[in-house]
Structure 1
Amino acid sequence: MDGLQIVSKLNVDQIAKAVDLIDAIALHDGLSPVSEHVFLHLRHGGDDQSLHFLLSHNDELIGYAHLDVTDKVEGPITEIALAPQHRSQAVGTELIKEIIGATPSGDLRMWAHGDQSVAGVWAQDMGFRHIRTLLQMRRSLLAPLPQAVFTDDVELRTFLPGQDDEEWVAMNALAFAHHGEQGDWTIEDLHQRMDEPWFSVPGFFVAQDRETKKMLGFHWTKIHGLVDEPGSDAHIHDAIGEVYVVGVDPNLQGKGLGKALTLAGLHHLRSCGLSQCMLYVDATNTSAIKLYEALGFARWDADVMYRHEVAI
């Protein structure tokens, strides 16, 4: 394979080239080839337990892949970005073979972003099996929007940076105890996102007990496309809001708090002049999907996870 480098830490030049490649692919495809989690790790140079695959041709970076081997239960996972003009079957499959070869056992999970992702085609051709679907749903903010109604013992406020950080991380872990990708977030993960240009305190809502002030849930919204920063997607589409994360104390599930928090965030996004809102939800989370459908969301696209296992 022409010019393949595998490194655990990226230098400044490598980071810049990888970010530029991902931005160019996003502009061409209309969506990013990697998740926000991977993109943030990339911009910070990676970590000690990840590998970065840099594929060059004639001194030009044409491919990037991130391999995370930290999950000892589910196994290694990769995400791949390959320049459109170099997406031949041979290049894609050879890169995946190199990634498989770098895993401890040869087992590998891979995200393919978008229903028609070329990565999904490579995965299926190489015998990967489909194991998970993450739905993207969208809703018009111009359509009628119910009011957010909270019970009398709950009050709504915005997040207080520097004061709420630890309690929010604990609440997030509690709310997503069975969803490690979200529930395992650390203070550092929170702060990385707070340092992003899109972070906005007025769009980060916290529900708390009116008497004890204990955090009961939250809705963190996000706006894509308002700032022209690397990876911001500002050049790809008009500004669009996102239901970024909604979390509720499991002991309060089914009492309408999640719905009220979601609606509070949607009203905020509408007040920002946005006409569309999106969210991501696991296809197996039928209760959340029913809630979002009842609030006017419909399926837009999907990210698919595949698994490759070595036969025993």
Structure 2
Amino acid sequence: MGTGLTSADAVLRLAAAATDADGVAPFNEQTVLAVRHGADGYRHHWLAEGEELLAHAVVDPEGSGELCVHPAHRRRGLGRRLLDTVLDDVPTVALWAHGDLPGAQALARAAGLRVTRELWQMARDLEPGAQAPAAAAPAGVEVRTFVVGQDEEAWVALNAAAFAAHPEQGRLTVADLHQRQAEPWFDPSLLWLAHEAGRPDALLASMWVKPEGQDAEIYALGVHPQAQGRGLGGHLTALALAEMRGRGFRRTTLYVEGDNTAAIRTYRRAGYDRSSLDVQYAR
């Protein structure tokens, strides 16, 4: 990022003001990391008055974008001005509306954009106190926790295979993983790896939990395509839920594609219900 109005601090302060006003963050985690650390291929547009940043938009190298207008300067047409600038620069951009708030819906309609993707947040409460441990792993499978400095490349390869069709998750790199490891929430004891028995490097699936205060997010649950049907997803979910309860978390959340009916069915069986909706708009 640059200096002054375009500095990372200025953009993150703008996002924090929007989060406080709306109850939902305007930028996802990857965008925040790209702003904070700088990232090649990201495109930035902004509107300002004097020394005040009024609005900012970020578009990633794959054409997925987000925009934010300061709550004190809304209803002045700034969102449409910024959106038009983004569309002129990247006509094929797909823009996220986190929470799909009424203002975002109105802006999308006015610009002739349509919904092209839905991302559900699902949540469930957790009963306090220690719980019975999860059942034994499926036959021929062992589970261990992530070892920093050893498992990064193997986990990235597993994640890429498990999310090969996913537009964001499947393209995480070792550098992206290192950024997340540097975040204060990262805890390797909340990242489990399922592997072939006796072969700790032969990874089959992983479950990653992100602690957020009294909440715990199922951050990424991935099963290698060749290991599908072995009950690994269900086993790792049960293991994670037992650990969350044992650590005193009160609520658990996760994100899932709105058209992934199999995953939604699995999570509903585990007690999750939809709690919020992110929508992507495009021409």
Does TM, normalized by the shorter one, top 0.5?
A: yes
Which amino acid counterpart does residue 174 of structure 2 have in structure 1?
A: I
What residue in structure 1 maps to residue 204 of structure 2? 216
What residue in structure 2 maps to residue 15 of structure 1? 8
2:124 to 136, 139, 151: 139
> Which deviations, in whole Å up to 9, do the C-alpha atoms of 1:24-50 show, x marking residues without a partner?
221222221111111110101232x21
> Once superposed, what is the RMSD of the aligned Cα atoms?
1.8
> Which deviations, in whole Å up to 9, do the C-alpha atoms of 1:67-103 show, x marking residues without a partner?
22x23xxxx2210111112221611111100111122
- Identity percentage of aligned residues: 37
1:37 to 14, 21, 30: 30
8 Å CA contact 1:34–1:79 kept in 2: the answer is yes
What residue in structure 1 maps to residue 148 of structure 2? 161
Structure 1 distance, partners of 2:31, 2:135, is: 34
Cα 1:40–1:23 change in 2 (3 A) is: same
Which amino acid counterpart does residue 123 of structure 1 have in structure 2?
A: A
* 2:247 is the counterpart of 1:272: yes
Structure 2 distance, partners of 1:11, 1:253, is: 48
Which moved further from structure 2: 277-286 or 206-215?
206-215
Secondary structure of the structure 2 residue equivalent to 1:33? coil
Kindly report which structure 2 residues correspond to 1:220-299, keeping only aligned pairs within 5 A, or say none.
220-225=208-213, 239-299=214-274
1:64 to 39, 56, 70: 56
What residue in structure 1 maps to residue 79 of structure 2? 92
Secondary structure of the structure 2 residue equivalent to 1:304? strand
Structure 2 distance, partners of 1:262, 1:219, is: 7
Cα 1:148–1:63 change in 2 (3 A) is: farther
Secondary structure of the structure 2 residue equivalent to 1:180? coil
Which amino acid counterpart does residue 63 of structure 1 have in structure 2?
A: A
Secondary structure of the structure 2 residue equivalent to 1:284? coil
Which amino acid counterpart does residue 298 of structure 1 have in structure 2?
A: D
Query: In the TM superposition, what is the alpha-carbon distance from 1:135 to its structure 2 partner?
Result: 0.3
2:190 to 195, 199, 203: 203
What residue in structure 2 maps to residue 190 of structure 1? 177
Q: Which runs of 5+ in 1 are unaligned?
A: 1-8, 226-238
Compute the TM-score of the two structures, normalised by the length of structure 1: 0.85
* 2:99 is the counterpart of 1:114: yes
Cα 1:253–1:96 change in 2 (3 A) is: same
Q: Which runs of 5+ in 2 are unaligned?
A: none
Which amino acid counterpart does residue 125 of structure 1 have in structure 2?
A: A
Secondary structure of the structure 2 residue equivalent to 1:219? strand
* 2:55 is the counterpart of 1:80: no
* 2:160 is the counterpart of 1:173: yes
Query: In the TM superposition, what is the alpha-carbon distance from 1:115 to its structure 2 partner?
Result: 3.0
Structure 1 distance, partners of 2:106, 2:169, is: 27
What residue in structure 2 maps to residue 231 of structure 1? none
8 Å CA contact 1:10–1:45 kept in 2: the answer is no
Structure 2 distance, partners of 1:120, 1:195, is: 35
Structure 2 distance, partners of 1:148, 1:302, is: 32
Runs of 4+ in 1 over 6 A off after TM superposition: 143-146
What residue in structure 1 maps to residue 43 of structure 2? 51
Query: In the TM superposition, what is the alpha-carbon distance from 1:110 to its structure 2 partner?
Result: 0.5
Structure 1 distance, partners of 2:11, 2:95, is: 19
> Which deviations, in whole Å up to 9, do the C-alpha atoms of 1:8-64 show, x marking residues without a partner?
x434871111111112221222221111111110101232x2111232224211211
8 Å CA contact 1:89–1:122 kept in 2: the answer is no
8 Å CA contact 1:169–1:185 kept in 2: the answer is yes
What residue in structure 1 maps to residue 277 of structure 2? 302
Structure 2 distance, partners of 1:145, 1:117, is: 43
Structure 1 distance, partners of 2:244, 2:48, is: 41
8 Å CA contact 2:100–2:279 kept in 1: the answer is yes
